[in-house]
Structure 1
């Protein structure tokens, strides 16, 4: 059977007559080919011609290797990926600058470079939006960059500010008793508030000044005058002057760094040290305080020196708030040392710790009682945790103290790596936003105003909310001050880079809608917080409503009135 099948197959091959043709494209010259002579026999062309490719490439990869997308969902996916990578770059830059700050301490770096590095992502995105491409492309991308800067300021002063007020008031709910009626509870909740200090109002007033460059750049177009390029140059000079004065002021009047130092001391007291030294009744546990004194006193000379005190407190991550550990140790010794001999004996230690406990208990009594009841289930467990704290702090201190060179290397490496990531992905993100807006027929201002600021300020928002969770006047003052300072730096540095790019490339200023939104939010929030120290819970509604109002204002001005 197998042989018969093979025979029939061979027979078909012999009987049938076949021919072949050369496969080529239509662009190939016929003079280069030789005919097989069968075109006259079978009335066919001797060549099998392929139709040329008529479809065009839908997208062109950035830098030749980054991916691109031809549709809306692809653009959305790329924006998410680029945003996440930019977030990682921002984290590297922030960690590097904070580590460098922790090594160098307050001063010129803390007043200038540390704060400028805090807005580095916004600066790079703003620069990348107008440096590359043609003049028309740069004009469109600068609009997206300014939209991102505007969105960041609005996000900080509306959504983040309102959330901080809500979180700072939550703890007051614990004062309500079961005997209170629903109406009474509702009234007491509405009457709860967040209280700040005088320096917070000063910071808010400084933040208002950051709107002056916006006004200068917009003034000729608002009045219908010519000379927009001159106004751009003047606004650029004013932005640089404000930035220089702000940094210069912080060098010689470093009250912000001093507030951070004071904040860190109380943060350390409440979160790390005092948790182990409360009794179940919320009073100082002198037995545990004396036991802690013995553990710190390594040479058993009945005194604690500054060097021994570092073994306890240097495990705290000082770079999170940008402080030098030496300053913190000096403040603790100054507060504890009543005799003035730069040594702390047992009585001074017990007295100082007890004072800290009393101050903390008075400011947040119910919160501390609840926390310490959970953390002090037994004295034995507390002592074991204290031993672990001491071991961990000693381990954490060794590297930066004995090897400061490697701290500089690590900080510089993080800064370089984060900056490279931001520089590499800033322009692709801006281009992807423009492509998405074109594909979805949505103005790119909404994408850059909403999506980009949330990712860029995500890390700052988490830090602010975590800080104000302490629910004290001091933490609330520092948190809101940081928000105002971030808005100031975002406005000034962002305008400086944007105006510099526009002036260098000869671009036009046509951002009236964005300017009006920034002025509205900064003036409303700045004036309210510069004259008030107490913010009831209902004030968060004002901040929250300003965000959708800003979006609505941009839509009305751009789509209905045709503002640029």
Structure 2
């Protein structure tokens, strides 16, 4: 049984094992245990950093308009599942006897990752994104002037604080539940063939389960492809575009990527069409939404317009100090109504007009040349290369001087991730910015994936050995510890999005967690079932399977709620420890 592929799998495992410390050779005492813990911390940190490389590299591609749709719908979810998939894969390599034993590490990582991602980050996102709720459950996302979204600060009322989500979250819950069908495909036959209960182990034959594992594998693959196709078809929906907008706003707010670089494709129309571009062209509509964030930030008195002083503050905050004459020229050009103030429509239309003029003249603006160089085509003299260097040298100091007076809007922008400094180099046109972003993204994703594949195998050995030395089944060790290395980045990302306290960002956070659950149900489970089918392993994971499915059913039901309160957050968080206890209880009751 499993002999046909044993030499190949054993060779792969042995080859990788030679590159790392053999945990079996560590002293069987306290010193050896400390060394084992050190290996776990070291491997876990490396896997955590490599997972971040994959995540950050793939998110950079969202700044490339031609790739944003496919990246958000396919690349991000698939690469996000690579760390968990690698641990599952390497748990099934090596000799047959060793692999059958270490499969518990793989299923522990799969169950721990799925349940952790759907509980703790979800609960933390509600906590971070909570606002006051009225009697109807509507969130206070547009507080009155002088008030905040959450009052009093730190309010954690169980039923009157929480979040609202978009309808897309309910759809995501249904999809996640649908992708879990593969667990039923393999688990039902396991019970039928006597592999689900410990007292029936003698009658359990892996050959009976083998082809059901293959059917489950096919279901996983069909679900995987179907999910990606669905994602691609909806890659231009509001939720997907909102996520791209968040990344674009981060690049522009950091001052390290120009508006032209972020919205290059929106500038390809003919001059004189700016108003039509803003109202009809979708790409420019998204640019207008991004511009509104900056406009609102500098509209300090909240009158939906900015005067010369506020326009001056805007440019100072972006590292530019226009003279009085330059400022007057900008006001004259933007103030088409002649009322002495600039409305958002005047502001956004003028920005597009001037950017397109500069784009036609130079094929786009330079990076970090200052705001007056971007919008002052007719009023500001183009700088020399020496002046550009001086301007760049003073950017950081000027931005720092202006940053102290920022309020909540400033904090929101600062929480965004920044574009790498080399992409912020001078003299890069929008096309060059895009090329540099692609190059940086590809090597980050490639390096991160290579490191994950390299270190997943020794991590499996360490988790298995930790279980042996502590007298705890390896499943529980992997359930708790593996997600710390492979999924910490998702937890941090979802929490960061939720801190924005908007319906859009909390929905982005939840949608990403649902997507991770779908990837575990398809991509990672497919790897597991491939091992069971190809190597002839027994499927003896009834308790773990039931636990995963029950948690996914619970979170799918939560997804149907438009309003999720702090009470929901506490209940969701409790599902993580309760799921571990549930597995232990039903295993003690006789399930495998």
Q: Which TM-score band applies after superposition, normalised by the shorter structure?
A: 0.5 to 0.7
Select 1:208's aligned residue among 156, 177, 188: 177
Equivalent residue, structure 2, for 1:158:
119
SS in 2 for 1:470: coil
Equivalent residue, structure 2, for 1:145:
106
Matched, 1:285 2:315: no
Equivalent residue, structure 2, for 1:429:
459
- Map of 1:324-363 to 2, 5 A cutoff? none
Select 1:128's aligned residue among 79, 86, 90: 90
Equivalent residue, structure 2, for 1:445:
475
The CA distance in 1 between the partners of 2:522 and 2:182, in whole Å, is 8
Give 1:195 deviation, angstroms. 0.5
Residues 16 and 454, structure 2, Cα contact 8 Å, conserved in 1: no
The CA distance in 1 between the partners of 2:536 and 2:428, in whole Å, is 54
SS in 2 for 1:304: helix
Residues 87 and 456, structure 2, Cα contact 8 Å, conserved in 1: yes
The CA distance in 2 between the partners of 1:313 and 1:222, in whole Å, is 65
The CA distance in 2 between the partners of 1:195 and 1:141, in whole Å, is 42
Q: Normalising by structure 2, report the TM-score.
A: 0.64
Residues 280 and 373, structure 1, Cα contact 8 Å, conserved in 2: no
Equivalent residue, structure 2, for 1:540:
569
Residues 280 and 376, structure 1, Cα contact 8 Å, conserved in 2: no
- The C-alpha deviation readout for 1:363-420, integer Å capped at 9, x for no partner, is xxxxxxxx9994279xxxxxxxxxxx9x999758927732655444333322222122
Matched, 1:247 2:228: yes
The CA distance in 2 between the partners of 1:281 and 1:372, in whole Å, is 19
Distance 1:561 1:282, change over 3 A: farther
Matched, 1:482 2:512: yes
SS in 1 for 2:431: helix
Give 1:458 deviation, angstroms. 1.1
The CA distance in 1 between the partners of 2:192 and 2:432, in whole Å, is 62
The CA distance in 2 between the partners of 1:92 and 1:435, in whole Å, is 28
Select 1:114's aligned residue among 65, 76, 92: 76
Select 1:455's aligned residue among 474, 485, 488: 485
Matched, 1:471 2:501: yes
Equivalent residue, structure 1, for 2:352:
305
Give 1:431 deviation, angstroms. 0.6
The CA distance in 2 between the partners of 1:301 and 1:394, in whole Å, is 29
Distance 1:411 1:260, change over 3 A: closer
- The C-alpha deviation readout for 1:441-483, integer Å capped at 9, x for no partner, is 1111111000111221111111111111111212112211111
Instruction: For structure 1, list consecutive stretches of 5 or more residues without a partner in the other structure.
Output: 1-59, 316-343, 347-370, 378-388
Equivalent residue, structure 1, for 2:406:
375
Q: Normalising by structure 1, report the TM-score.
A: 0.67
Distance 1:231 1:554, change over 3 A: same
Distance 1:233 1:345, change over 3 A: farther
The CA distance in 2 between the partners of 1:186 and 1:409, in whole Å, is 45
Matched, 1:63 2:9: no
Equivalent residue, structure 2, for 1:340:
none
Give 1:436 deviation, angstroms. 1.3
User: How many residues are matched?
Assistant: 433
SS in 2 for 1:508: coil
The CA distance in 1 between the partners of 2:473 and 2:449, in whole Å, is 29
Residues 423 and 433, structure 2, Cα contact 8 Å, conserved in 1: no
Give 1:190 deviation, angstroms. 3.0
Matched, 1:401 2:431: yes
